[in-house]
């Protein structure tokens, strides 16, 4: 009974956060599933936005050694999910601060320089945008253009797990 | 021809007739009634979209594209100019293109070579549209050699007043001094609408200043057709193209924003979509509108895609292109200062994105806010260097200087950061005034905003008696005076957060929290949660429910008129209430430009 009540309250919360759609929420992609993902998450290199770059000038950004050394490895980063175009998403943008404007929908808006594109193996429903989330996955570096949206990314995480903090 | 000059003349006649009864009162009473008597009706959209639009005004010889657009497929276009077949009139063959559900007939790159009225009739599919144009070749008696146009982006009357209060202060109820921009001989009220909407964005309004033609939101240097292609819209020649072509003048653009952002970009480029900033960066290299001096932020649109930090979608290196064209590149303040004095072409890009504002760049210097850009020049230094460089050209120069962050900071409801940048812009105006005074007073200086914001000064705010929030907003007599101080005399208050500050309220904003205090770290008023903007939880203060659509996450532009101040030869053109397109005609009149010169 207690459990039922709790899950009811949880779904209410999720509803309030706009997470629920008619389609089933693929919880398994959103929450850490022990033991497999969590054991990998423990081995993950923790990375902050401050640690990504060694130097910056108007001729470009230089990756930090920590970021370069982590290429191809499992990393864990905390940030905010920028509001995506659709409720169900294949990739999203992880930002240092919650986004105040949506560059996907506003012609006047632009992404900050320090963003991470999080790619998902299966579509998920967007998490709340105003609370931090944690992403764990394989780090990829280098310019890539998304075939569908034309979105150019530089730092990417192939997500294994997402978690609202 | 001035804005509603016809009505004004008639009103003046009535006024003269009634002068026995006191003209001022009669004028006030009868002018509006008479304007209404002239009548206006809601405009219906003509199915034949004729561009340039009705009531457009041209400089004699100014190049433009004529386009006629109708829905669906059509090929029987018949266009006449003063009764003469348009292709014969211009000596050019038109083209027809069908795309995105419309058919567009275009005669490109033409001009009117005689001053006076022109009537264009377009017939397509048996439907007709008529446009009446005016062509002017007015020239000032005493001409200007140079024009410096200062644009305070979003610099409403109230924004200027905040800068004046902070920078100059009052004693005995009188201001201790005025801003530099407020000490000019001539002033006008400028109306800001484009031809699509009452409210403008900065591309549309800057385009009016740069071309003398109205445009639509998000567009510059073009009228807007309905095709999706953002580069096929009918162009009109802009100020940089004109002064380069007809007089071989030097040109420059300086801004604290991305230099490809709306206001600087509109001085030279043509696109329906201001977001095409990579295109704008690249088109700046094209000779016919390439400025000799380009300084500002936004290098991310100039460096190749493979370089981290770039926003390009190709590997074009626009910085290198400029260097190949003989430009000296500077990426920070030190490099700018080290640029040899005899360089006549400068590309300076001092931030990947918009440059940081005065408070963050010159006062607080918080490394987290500057993000590694610790050595950016200020607007005053950039303006000085631009004038030094451009004034070497014997044919004179045109320079546009934008204080971009007045707008950007008012959007995020940070009136303190906006006011300091407004003061900085005013000090850049001082540099231009000094140059003009020392060089024979042959420079027309114009200071104008491009649109307003809904920020207003209610009174003061302090918590000295323990009150907080709205109860601590001091109105009327309780307001007294704010306690900003500028002890070092640099024009900027030493502390942006004094005991008694201004109580500034915004008329048009998203959900947010307000505590009236200075924000040590720039903080957005609202954040996006799905398709709705909600109050930024990182902001302290009282919840202020928004009063604009939920999708708007920032304070928005207002349709309020703005002020223009001008001095120097040709500045006498500016007075009364004027349409924003008249800024262009004031500039070309002052320079005495003959638009038919050196036509291709
Ligand atoms: Zn704006």
Mean pLDDT value of segment B26-42: 49
Q: b vs e for B531-567, b when ≥16 Cβ sit within 10 Å of the residue's Cβ?
A: ebbbbbeebeeeebebebebebbbbbbbebbbbbbbb
CB pairs below 8 Å between A and B: how many? 105
ω before A35 within 30° of 0 (cis)?
A: yes
User: Measured between alpha carbons, how far is residue B250 from residues B68, B259, B322, B344, B395 in Å?
Assistant: 35, 18, 16, 9, 7
Provide the pLDDT for residue B37.
Answer: 53
Spatial CA neighbour of A101 closest among B411, B419, B507 = B411
The rounded distance, in Å, linking the Cα atoms of B582 and B590 is: 12
- Kindly tell me if the per-residue pLDDT of A99 is higher than 90: no
Provide the pLDDT for residue B411.
Answer: 95
Residue for token digits 């000038």? A57
Q: Of B309, B336, B351, B404, which to mutate for an interface test with A (greatest number of A Cβ within 10 Å)? A: B309
| Per-residue pLDDT reduced to its tens digit, B503-527 | 999 999 999 999 999 999 999 999 9
Question: Chain A contacts of B319, Cβ < 8 Å?
Answer: 59
The rounded distance, in Å, linking the Cα atoms of B138 and B377 is: 39
B372 → closest Cβ in A55, A110, A126: A55
* Range in A92-101, B398-407, B533-542 with the lowest mean pLDDT: A92-101
The rounded distance, in Å, linking the Cα atoms of B505 and B423 is: 20
The rounded distance, in Å, linking the Cα atoms of A150 and B205 is: 30
Both structure tokens of A49: 């936005």
Question: Chain A contacts of B331, Cβ < 8 Å?
Answer: 57-59
Catalytic residue among B156, B167, B202, B558, which? B202
For B84, residues 6+ apart whose C-beta sits below 8 A from its C-beta are none
- Looking at the DSSP assignment, which residues form a beta bridge with residue B535? B526
Both structure tokens of B538: 């990182």
β-strands A133-145, B49-51 pairing: unpaired
CB contact under 8 A, A56 and B527: no
Both structure tokens of B588: 């070309």
| Per-residue pLDDT reduced to its tens digit, B120-138 | 999 998 899 999 999 999 9
Flag whether residue A16 sits within 8 Å of chain B, measured between CB atoms.
Answer: no
- Kindly tell me if the per-residue pLDDT of B189 is higher than 50: yes
Strands (E), B331-386: 346-349
> How far is the centre of ligand 1, averaged over its atoms, from the C-alpha of B554 (Å)?
10
SS3 assignment for B210-267: HHCCCCCCCCECECCCCCCCCCCCCEECCHHHHHHHHHCCEEEEEEEEECCCHHHHHC
> Searching chain A, which residue's CA lies closest to the CA of residue B202?
A108
A63 → closest Cβ in B305, B308, B529: B308
Say what percent of chain B tops pLDDT 70: 94
Q: Chain B closest CA to A40's CA: distance in Å?
A: 29
Q: Chain A closest CA to B555's CA: distance in Å?
A: 11
- Kindly tell me if the per-residue pLDDT of A120 is higher than 70: yes
| Per-residue pLDDT reduced to its tens digit, B448-468 | 999 999 999 999 999 999 999
Residues B251 and B292: beta-carbon distance below 8 Å: yes
Residues B427 and B180: beta-carbon distance below 8 Å: yes
CB contact under 8 A, B352 and A154: no
> How far is the centre of ligand 1, averaged over its atoms, from the C-alpha of B234 (Å)?
25
- A111 or B547, which is more confident: B547
The rounded distance, in Å, linking the Cα atoms of B367 and A53 is: 14
Residue for token digits 């009225």? B117
Spatial CA neighbour of B252 closest among B239, B261, B262 = B239
The rounded distance, in Å, linking the Cα atoms of B211 and B385 is: 26
Mean pLDDT value of segment A74-100: 85
Q: Chain A closest CA to B313's CA: distance in Å?
A: 7
| Per-residue pLDDT reduced to its tens digit, A132-158 | 899 999 999 988 888 777 777 889 999
Number of helices and strands (H, E) in chain A? 4, 8
Ion ligand 1: protein residues whose beta carbon lies under 5 Å: B 407
Question: Chain B contacts of A61, Cβ < 8 Å?
Answer: 307-309, 352
Is B202 tagged catalytic? yes
Provide the pLDDT for residue A109.
Answer: 60
Provide the pLDDT for residue A112.
Answer: 80
For A92, residues 6+ apart whose C-beta sits below 8 A from its C-beta are A81, A82, A84, A117, A118, A120, A126
Strands (E), A3-150: 45-47, 53-57, 60-63, 74-81, 88-95, 115-125, 133-145
Mean pLDDT value of segment B423-427: 98
Q: ipTM of this predicted complex?
A: 0.82
The rounded distance, in Å, linking the Cα atoms of B70 and B77 is: 10
The mean pLDDT of chain A is 73
Q: Chain B closest CA to A131's CA: distance in Å?
A: 9
| Per-residue pLDDT reduced to its tens digit, B278-306 | 999 999 999 999 999 999 999 999 999 98
Task: Give the confidence band of B390 by pLDDT, cuts at 50, 70, 90.
Answer: very high
B537 → closest Cβ in A101, A130, A152: A130
For B388, residues 6+ apart whose C-beta sits below 8 A from its C-beta are B341
| Per-residue pLDDT reduced to its tens digit, B315-349 | 999 999 999 999 999 999 999 999 999 999 999 99
Domains and CATH numbers, chain B: 1-41 (no CATH), 49-136 (2.60.40.10), 146-454+568-591 (3.40.720.10), 459-556 (no CATH)
Domains and CATH numbers, chain A: 2-164 (2.40.50.140)
Please provide the distance, in angstroms rounded to a whole number, between the alpha carbons at the two ends of chain B.
28
The HSE-up count of residue B190 (CA atoms within 13 Å, CB side) is 34
CB contact under 8 A, B528 and A83: yes
Mean pLDDT value of segment B32-45: 62
Q: Chain B closest CA to A156's CA: distance in Å?
A: 13
Both structure tokens of B311: 């926003």
Mean pLDDT value of segment B187-209: 97
CA dihedral over B282, B284, B285, B289, signed as positive or negative? positive
Q: Answer yes or no: pTM beyond 0.90.
A: no
Coil, strand or helix at B324: helix
Spatial CA neighbour of A19 closest among A131, A127, A145, A163 = A127
Flag whether residue A4 sits within 8 Å of chain B, measured between CB atoms.
Answer: no
Provide the pLDDT for residue B17.
Answer: 34
CB contact under 8 A, A60 and B350: no
Both structure tokens of B45: 């959209």
What does the DSSP 8-state code read for residue B456?
E
B371 → closest Cβ in A56, A102, A129: A56
> How far is the centre of ligand 1, averaged over its atoms, from the C-alpha of B408 (Å)?
6
Q: Of B199, B527, B534, which to mutate for an interface test with A (greatest number of A Cβ within 10 Å)? A: B527
Q: Phi and psi for B284 in degrees, rounded to 5?
A: -65, -20
């Amino acid at each position: 009974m207690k459990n039922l009540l709790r899950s009811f309250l949880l779904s209410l919360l999720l509803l309030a956060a706009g997470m629920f759609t008619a389609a089933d929420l693929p919880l398994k992609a959103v929450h850490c599933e022990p033991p497999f993902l969590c054991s990998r998450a423990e081995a993950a290199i923790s990375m902050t936005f401050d640690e990504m770059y060694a130097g910056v000038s108007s001729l470009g950004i230089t990756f930090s050694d920590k970021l370069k050394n982590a290429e191809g490895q499992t990393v864990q980063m905390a940030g905010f999910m920028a509001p995506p175009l659709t409720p169900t998403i294949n990739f999203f943008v992880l930002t240092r601060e919650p986004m105040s404007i949506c560059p996907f929908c506003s012609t006047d808006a632009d992404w900050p320089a320090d963003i991470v594109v999080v790619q998902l193996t299966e579509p998920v429903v967007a998490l709340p945008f105003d609370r931090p989330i944690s992403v764990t996955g394989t780090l990829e570096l280098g310019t890539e253009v998304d075939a569908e949206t034309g979105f150019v990314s530089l730092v990417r995480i192939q997500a294994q797990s997402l978690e609202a903090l | 021809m001035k804005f509603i000059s016809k009505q004004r003349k008639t009103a003046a006649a009535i006024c003269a007739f009634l002068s026995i009864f006191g003209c001022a009162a009669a004028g006030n009473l009868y002018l509006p009634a008479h304007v209404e008597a002239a009548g206006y009706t809601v405009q219906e959209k003509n199915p034949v979209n004729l561009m340039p639009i009705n009531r457009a005004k041209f400089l004699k010889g100014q190049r433009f594209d004529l386009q006629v657009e109708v829905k669906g497929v059509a090929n029987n276009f018949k266009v006449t100019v003063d009764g003469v077949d348009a292709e014969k009139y211009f000596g050019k063959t038109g083209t027809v293109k069908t795309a995105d559900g419309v058919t567009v007939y275009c005669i490109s790159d033409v001009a009117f070579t005689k001053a006076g009225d022109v009537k264009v009739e377009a017939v397509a599919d048996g439907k007709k549209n008529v446009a009446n144009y005016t062509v002017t070749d007015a020239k000032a008696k005493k001409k200007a050699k140079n024009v410096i146009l200062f644009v305070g982006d979003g610099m409403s009357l109230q924004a200027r007043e905040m800068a004046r209060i902070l920078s100059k202060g009052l004693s005995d109820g009188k201001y201790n001094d005025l801003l530099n921009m407020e000490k000019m001989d001539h002033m006008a009220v400028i109306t800001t609408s484009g031809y699509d909407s009452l409210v403008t964005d900065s591309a549309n309004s800057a385009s009016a200043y740069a071309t003398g033609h109205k445009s639509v939101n998000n567009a510059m240097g073009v009228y807007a057709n309905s095709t999706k292609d953002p580069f096929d819209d009918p162009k009109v020649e802009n100020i940089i193209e004109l002064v380069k072509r007809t007089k071989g003048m030097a040109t420059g653009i300086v801004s604290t924003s991305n230099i490809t952002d709306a206001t600087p970009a509109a001085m030279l480029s043509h696109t329906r979509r201001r977001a095409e900033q990579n295109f704008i960066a690249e088109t700046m290299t094209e000779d016919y509108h390439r400025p000799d001096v380009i300084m500002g932020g936004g290098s991310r649109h100039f460096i190749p895609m493979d370089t981290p930090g770039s926003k390009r979608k190709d590997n074009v290196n626009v910085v290198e292109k400029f260097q190949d064209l003989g430009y000296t590149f500077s990426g920070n303040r030190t490099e700018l200062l080290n640029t040899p004095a005899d360089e006549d072409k400068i590309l300076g890009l001092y931030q990947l994105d918009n440059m940081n504002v005065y408070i963050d760049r010159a006062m607080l210097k918080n490394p987290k806010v500057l993000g590694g850009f610790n050595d950016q020049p200020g607007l005053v230094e950039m303006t000085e260097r631009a004038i030094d460089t451009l004034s070497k050209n014997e044919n004179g120069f045109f320079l546009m200087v934008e204080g971009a962050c007045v707008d950007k900071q008012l959007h995020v409801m940070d009136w303190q950061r906006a006011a300091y940048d407004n003061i900085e812009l005013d000090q850049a105006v001082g540099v231009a005034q000094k140059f003009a005074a020392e060089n024979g007073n042959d420079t027309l200086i114009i200071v104008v905003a491009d649109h307003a914001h809904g920020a207003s000064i209610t009174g003061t705010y302090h918590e000295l008696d323990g009150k907080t929030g709205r109860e601590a907003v001091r109105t009327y007599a309780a307001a007294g005076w704010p306690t900003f101080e500028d002890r070092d005399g640099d024009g900027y208050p030493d502390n942006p957060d004094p005991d008694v500050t201004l109580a500034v309220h915004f008329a048009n904003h998203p959900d947010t929290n307000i505590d009236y205090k200075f924000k040590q770290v720039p903080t957005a008023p609202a954040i996006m949660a799905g398709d709705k903007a909600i109050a930024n939880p990182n902001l302290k203060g009282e919840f202020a429910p928004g009063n604009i659509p939920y999708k708007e996450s920032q304070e928005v532009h207002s349709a309020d008129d703005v002020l223009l101040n001008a001095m120097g030869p040709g500045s006498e053109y500016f007075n009364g209430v004027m349409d924003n397109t008249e800024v262009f005609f004031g500039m070309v009149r002052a320079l005495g430009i003959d638009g038919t010169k050196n036509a291709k």
